[in-house]
Amino acid sequence: MMPELGKYATEVMAAYGVSLTLLAVLLVMTLRRGRRARAELERIEGRKNG
Amino acid sequence: MSLWEYANPVKFLALSARVQPVLWVASGLCISVGLIWGFFGTPDDFRQGSTVKIIYLHVPSALMAINAWFMMLVTSLIWLIRRHHVSALAAKAAAPVGLIMTLIALVTGAIWGQPMWGTWWAWDPRLTSFLILFLFYLGYIALWEAIEDPDTAADLTSILCLVGSVFAILSRYAVRFWNQGLHQGTSIPVATGGRTVSDVFFYPLVISMIGFGLLFLALVLYRTCTEIRVRRTRALLAREGQGA
C-alpha cells in the first residue's frame, strides 16, 4: 500500500526512480561485461588448449 | 596466511567466487529492507514532510561515493609501492561504482534541495566538493580508457587518485571546515556518537547504509574479477600474436 506522500510526492518518487534506475543500469552493465569477459577468456583458453 | 596472497589473481578469483554469493544476497536483503522500511514504514518529518524518505538513498550513496574514493586511494598506493596488478585493477573496477554513487547523491540532494532550500543547487562547500569529486571520477575513468599501456595507465590514474583524495576529504569534512553554506552538519557523527536523527528514521537508514556498503563490495569484487579476465585475455592474445 502506497504511503501518503502529500505535496512532495513528485520529489520523493523522482528521487527513488532516478536512484534505482541508475543502480539497475550499473548492475546490468557490470554483469553483462563480466559475462562477456568470461566467455572471451574461455574461448581463447579453449583454442590454446585444444 | 598473508593478505598479500590475494595479490595473486588466481587466489583472488577463488576468494571472490566464495565471497560474492554471500555479498550479493546480503546486500540485496539489506537494501530491500532498508528502503522498504524507510519508504513504507516511517512517518513524515515535522519540517521536511515526506522528503525525509530521500535520506535512505542520499546518505548511503554519499557515504559510498567518498568511501569508494578512499578504497581507490588505498589500492592505488599499493600499486605504486608494491606493483600488485590486482590492486590497480581493483581501483579501476571501483571507479564507475563510485561515479554512480556520487551521481545518485548529487541528484537526490538536488531533488530534496528544491522544496527544502528553494533551489536545486547552491555553491555550498559540501555540494561543490562533491561536484568536483564527480568530475574527478569522470577524469579517472577517462584516463584509464585513454592510455593503451595498462601499467602506465595504472601509474597515472594512481597519481590522479592521490590528487583527487583532497576533494574526497573535503567532501566528507566540508561542513566542519567551513561553518557556512546550506548543507546541514553530520546527522550521525561516528566519533562523538551524538546523533540528531530520531530512532524511527535511524534504524532503516543504518540498514540501507550497510546494504549500500555490501553492494559496493559485491560490485567491486565482481568488476575486479572481470578486469583480471580482460587482462589475461589481452596477454594471451598478445602472446598468440608474437608466436604467429
B45 vs B214: which has the higher pLDDT: B214
The predicted-structure confidence for B197-243, as pLDDT tens digits, reads as follows 788 899 999 999 999 999 999 999 999 999 999 999 999 998 877 76
Q: Which residues of A touch B49 (CB under 8 A)?
A: 6-8
Cβ separation A11–B54 shorter than 8 A = yes
C-alpha distances out from residue B118 to B102, B112, B121, B122, B124, Å:
22, 9, 9, 10, 14
The predicted-structure confidence for B133-175, as pLDDT tens digits, reads as follows 999 999 999 999 999 999 999 999 999 999 999 878 877 776 6
pLDDT more than 90, % of chain B: 70
pLDDT more than 90, % of chain A: 76
Average pLDDT over every residue of A39-46 = 92
Judged by a CB distance cut-off of 8 A, whether residue A23 touches chain B is yes
**Chain B: closest CA distance from residue A16 (Å):** 7
Q: Where are the domains of chain B?
A: 40-235
Pick the closest to residue B185 from B198, B195, A11, B193 (CA basis).
B195
> Whole-angstrom Cα distance, residue B123 to residue B103?
17
Cβ separation B229–A3 shorter than 8 A = no
Judged by a CB distance cut-off of 8 A, whether residue A40 touches chain B is yes
Instruction: Tell me if the pTM is above 0.95.
Output: no
> What SS3 state is found at A1?
coil
Judged by a CB distance cut-off of 8 A, whether residue A39 touches chain B is no
Cβ separation A19–B225 shorter than 8 A = no
B242 vs B97: which has the higher pLDDT: B97
- Burial pattern A22-44, b for ≥16 Cβ within 10 A else e, equals bbeebbeebeebbeebeebbeeb
Q: What is the pLDDT, as a whole number, of residue B192?
A: 58
Widest Cα–Cα separation across chain B: 73
Look up residue B127 and give its amino acid: L
Cell for A50? 585444444
